[in-house]
Amino acid sequence: MRALVVDRSAESRLALAEVPDPEPAPYEALVRVEAISLNYGETFMVSTGQLPDGTVPGWDATGVVVRAAADGSGPAVGTRVVTLGMTGAWAELRAVPTATIGTVPEGADGGAISTIPVAALTALHVLRRFGQTLGRRIMITGASGGVGRFAVQLAVRAGAEVVAVSADPAQVAVLEALGAHEVVKHPAEVSRPVHGVLDNVEGEQMVAAFGALAAGGSLVSVGHSANQDVVFPVGSFIPVDGRHDRSISTFFLLADPHADVSADLTWLAGEVAAGRLDPGITWRGDWTRHHEATATLLGRRLRGKAVLEVS
């Protein structure tokens, strides 16, 4: 099969090459890949030489099952699916555990659905941590990014009053169109305290976002887009205006043994297919143009998702 493999001698650290087909484990299905969605995280790992030569990277892909799992789990041959894994998505064929496969509705745009696994699943699982959000204020930092856009839409769907944070003035109208009630350039500018924060950014934005929490509120640290240390000034954890019991927790997708990833991927695929969730694709093209896509993403010239179509 052909795959995008790590080649640290190449300028982009990637090459489209012929490699052996993957051999599925008994609990894995073999999927013929149709579309791939890029995440900043995996692309950054490739570009900084963190993966050995010959690795087929990639977390998110859609496609069709060409061999069902030997243990009888998961979808049958011919089923259109959306898949999540730690490697192997950037290829014509992918072996993927059936526990992280969702099904795709008939006629759905596979490119749009490919954006779901890491970005939308992260948004969904983090928002669930805030419990009942009906009528409560939820702040999303890095709201214009892959995780952020899904988080804004899902929080609105869950009845929250959503505060979206984006430093880019061009994103104000975009985020309002997704349903955000308040859009600010920085968490310190928020008009009133919030019940929860989904933080994609870290650094001083995370410190300010923690300062915006109401009593009993919680901040979930998801990402570190600012690539900046988090330094809390002395006294940050002393209750201010009676705002006590505020907490911070970390998050890692796939670390929750109780999450039903297949069911959640299937539900999210249905929402995107029905047009109730907008993946915000801002770059789309054939996978032979991978240099262009990864350079745009890494150069921070892309807000939203990049999709590669496997020709």
Ligand X SMILES: NC(=O)c1ccc[n+]([C@@H]2O[C@H](COP(=O)([O-])OP(=O)(O)OC[C@H]3O[C@@H](n4cnc5c(N)ncnc54)[C@H](OP(=O)(O)O)[C@@H]3O)[C@@H](O)[C@H]2O)c1
Residue whose CB is less far from ligand X, 67 or 128: 128
Q: Report the amino acid identity of residue 158.
A: A
Q: How far is the CB of 87 from ligand X (least distance, A)?
A: 15
Q: How far is the CB of 66 from ligand X (least distance, A)?
A: 28
d(CA 46, CA 34): 21
- Please tell me the total number of residues recorded for the chain in this structure: 311
Contact 210, 219 (CB under 8 A): yes
Residue whose CB is less far from ligand X, 88 or 142: 142
Beta-strand pair 28-38/93-97: antiparallel
Q: How far is the CB of 208 from ligand X (least distance, A)?
A: 12
Element (H, E) at 163: strand 161-165
Residue whose CB is less far from ligand X, 32 or 224: 224
Q: How far is the CB of 29 from ligand X (least distance, A)?
A: 23
Residue whose CB is less far from ligand X, 55 or 171: 171
Say what angle helices 146-157 and 121-129 make with each other, to 10 degrees: 50
Q: How far is the CB of 148 from ligand X (least distance, A)?
A: 5
Residues forming contacts to ligand X in the complex (CB under 6 A) are: 39-41, 118-119, 122, 142, 144-148, 166-168, 171, 200-201, 222-226, 251-253, 300, 303
Residue whose CB is less far from ligand X, 32 or 179: 179
Beta-strand pair 182-184/194-199: unpaired
Residue whose CB is less far from ligand X, 78 or 299: 299
Q: Which backbone phi and psi does 146 adopt, to 5 degrees? A: -60, -55
d(CA 213, CA 270): 33
d(CA 51, CA 263): 30
Q: How far is the CB of 194 from ligand X (least distance, A)?
A: 17
Contact 38, 298 (CB under 8 A): no
